[in-house]
């Protein structure tokens, strides 16, 4: 399989665009990062929008979904049910902090790490201390 792709699922299009900007700067052009965020100009998430963004990911690449809130998780899960099985089996919903998880994952993916290593890097973001005593 190819490099890991990342899809940011957020209620806020502005939040997702900001995360995309940061992650793209950190990872460079080697990692496909997409967003499925907002519903038009309103806040919200949509399973069909998530499916559309997943379908833009490079063929054969493992795909990680990062989400901001519980209803975004539900839409990620619904998206997996809509997708054809061969694509859905390449998708993992990642339980990680949104900002730190996406940054860690995008950097790890840009270094060519395995999909499992990219997932682990994202999940390890739970342990990142921002203020050291």
Q: Which of 3, 11, 47, 115 is flagged as catalytic?
A: 11
Residue 48, token pair as written in the block: 């069909």
β-pairing verdict for 63-67 and 33-37: unpaired
Burial class (CB in 10 A: 0-12, 13-18, 19+), 40: exposed
> Is 11 known to be catalytic?
yes
Task: Indicate which residues carry an active-site annotation.
Answer: 11
């Amino acid at each position: 399989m190819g490099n890991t792709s990342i899809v940011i699922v957020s209620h806020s299009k502005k939040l997702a665009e900001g995360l995309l900007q940061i992650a793209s700067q950190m990872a460079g052009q080697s990692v496909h990062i997409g967003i499925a965020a907002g519903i038009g100009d309103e806040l919200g998430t949509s399973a069909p929008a998530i499916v559309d963004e997943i379908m833009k990911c490079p063929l054969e690449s493992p795909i990680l979904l990062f989400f901001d809130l519980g209803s975004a998780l539900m839409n990620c899960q619904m998206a997996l049910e809509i997708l054809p099985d061969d694509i859905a089996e390449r998708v993992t919903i990642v339980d990680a902090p949104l900002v730190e998880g996406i940054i860690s994952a995008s950097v790890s993916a840009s270094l060519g790490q395995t999909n499992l290593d990219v997932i682990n890097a994202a999940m390890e973001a739970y342990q990142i201390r921002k203020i050291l005593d």
